[in-house]
Amino acid sequence: MNAPGPMQHFLQFKDLDRETLAYLFERCRIIKDRFKRYQRHMPLLDRTLVMIFEKQSTRTRLSFEAGMHQLGGAAIYLNTETPNSVGESPWRTLHRSSRACATLS
C-alpha cells in the first residue's frame, strides 16, 4: 500500500478524502497489531516532535510523548511560559524549531 500524496495537515476528518482516511486507519491497525505483539516498529526513528501548548494538557502531552517513544522518535515539550533569551513568541519559537525537528504540534 502506498502513501497517498504529499504530507497534509490533519485538523478534522473532513480535511481528508475517504481513500486517505482508509489508508490511515489501515496503517493504524498494522501499527497497533505490531505493538500488541511486541514487534519493534520504528517509522519515526531519528525524528523529533516539538510540542508547545497554549494550555497545559497532561493527557495530550503524555499521549504524544508515549507515541513518539513507541514509534522510535523523541519528543520535546516547551510551554508558553518557558522563558527564552530573545523574548520571542511561541509561534516564532515553533518556526525556528522547524529547522531542527521533523514534526511540530
Burial level of 72, CB count in 10 A (0-12/13-18/19+)?
Answer: middle
The rounded percent of the chain whose pLDDT value lies above 70 is 72
Average pLDDT over the chain reads 80
* Model confidence at 1: pLDDT above 50: no
Of the pLDDT bands very low, low, confident and very high (cuts 50, 70, 90), residue 8 is low
The letter for the amino acid at 49 is L
Torsion angles phi and psi, residue 80, rounded to 5: -70, -15
Of the pLDDT bands very low, low, confident and very high (cuts 50, 70, 90), residue 96 is confident
Q: Which of 49, 51, 83 is nearest to 68 (CA)?
A: 49
